[in-house]
């Protein structure tokens, strides 16, 4: 399914006579020929793979129910629809796209969906979310599939990697074939900083993440660190206010990073600490 989603997003291949394909035209109309099934063979998808716009695969390019998303320009709405979200319930799918439209510009959404794009899947996992830069895949734990901070964090990793115009020491991607040590510290710290800068509207985050690890998972202190950094980057930490997007967000992180709490991050984020966070969240949900 990941390979099929990537194929659909690669508009430079699969058109007739070398022409570029239109993903939105495909997503807006169901074909008479629809291939169904979760475990498809190469033979079953061969015709679609050759020319994706001429047939459909159920769950890949069949029409989605996005009718409840309102209040955005058609251009931004269409940009968000180019991002593939697999096996998500309708309300989760809509919420992810709302977060993307609130926290990124249309140009940034287009950049994230360019080339082979990015594919989102909601599945049980130890962390709240993760980004696979090799396969351009974002995974979200079901408990955090509507979390604006988690969604924005993982997509910011992807945007940092895709945006080759970034040349700042802090805001350019540190993701390589292998990432560890100071590069990993900076990648996560800078991504967290940019996430906080972008969040719109700002509200109490449901996952303090790396700030929480710096506070030894003291919930109150973790949120204090988050709010402190939000104020540094945006100038406010009041709930309901807008953050920054595009170049303004990048410049704010680049110039104010050294003042922030998150700049002091030293990675000690283990799967066990992630499990502790998830267990706490489950208890909060039950309450």
Chain position carrying tokens 């070398």 = 18
In this prediction, residue 183 carries a pLDDT of: 83
Number of compact structural domains in the chain: 2
Boundary (domain end) residue, out of 19, 42, 63: 63
| Residue 168 belongs to a domain | no
In this prediction, residue 268 carries a pLDDT of: 59
In this prediction, residue 107 carries a pLDDT of: 95
| Residue 158 belongs to a domain | no
- From the centroid of its chain, how far is CA 33? 31
| Helix residue ranges, H only, 163-270 | 181-198, 209-214, 219-234, 246-256
Question: For the segment 93-148, what is each residue's pLDDT rounded down to a tens digit?
Answer: 889 999 999 999 999 999 999 888 899 999 998 999 999 998 899 999 999 999 99
Segments of the chain scoring below 70 in pLDDT: 64-68, 177-180, 268-287
Q: What angle do the packed helices 42-50 and 2-9 form, to 10 degrees?
A: 10
| Residue 80 belongs to a domain | no
| Residue 89 belongs to a domain | no
Token readout for 222 is 């973790």
Boundary (domain end) residue, out of 63, 85, 116: 63
Boundary (domain end) residue, out of 14, 44, 63: 63
Enclosing domain of residue 190: 181-286
| Residue 164 belongs to a domain | no
* Strands 119-122 and 137-140, sheet pairing: parallel
């Amino acid at each position: 399914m990941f390979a099929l989603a990537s194929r659909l997003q690669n508009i430079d291949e699969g058109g007739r006579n070398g022409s570029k394909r239109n993903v939105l035209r495909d997503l807006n109309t169901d074909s008479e020929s629809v291939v169904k099934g979760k475990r498809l063979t190469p033979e079953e998808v061969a015709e679609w793979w050759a020319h994706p716009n001429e047939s459909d695969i159920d769950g890949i390019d069949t029409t989605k129910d996005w009718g409840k998303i309102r209040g955005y320009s058609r251009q931004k709405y269409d940009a968000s629809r180019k991002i593939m979200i697999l096996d998500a319930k309708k309300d989760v799918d809509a919420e992810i796209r709302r977060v993307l439209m609130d926290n990124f510009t249309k140009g940034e959404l287009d950049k994230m969906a360019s080339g082979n794009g990015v594919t989102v899947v909601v599945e049980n996992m130890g962390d709240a979310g993760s980004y696979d830069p090799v396969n351009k895949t974002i995974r979200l734990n079901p408990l955090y599939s509507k979390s604006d901070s988690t969604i924005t964090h993982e997509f910011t990793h992807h945007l940092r990697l895709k945006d080759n115009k970034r040349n700042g020491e802090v805001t350019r991607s540190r993701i390589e074939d292998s990432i560890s040590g100071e590069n990993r510290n900076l990648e996560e710290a800078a991504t967290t900083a940019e996430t906080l800068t972008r969040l719109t509207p700002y509200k109490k985050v449901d996952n303090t993440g790396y700030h929480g690890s710096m506070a030894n998972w003291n919930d109150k202190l973790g949120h204090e660190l988050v709010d402190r950094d939000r104020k540094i980057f945006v100038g406010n930490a009041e709930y309901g206010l807008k953050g920054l997007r595009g170049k303004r967000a990048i410049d704010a992180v680049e110039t104010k990073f050294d003042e922030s709490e998150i700049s002091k991050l030293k990675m000690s984020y283990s799967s066990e600490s992630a499990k502790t966070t998830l267990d706490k969240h489950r208890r909060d949900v039950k309450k």
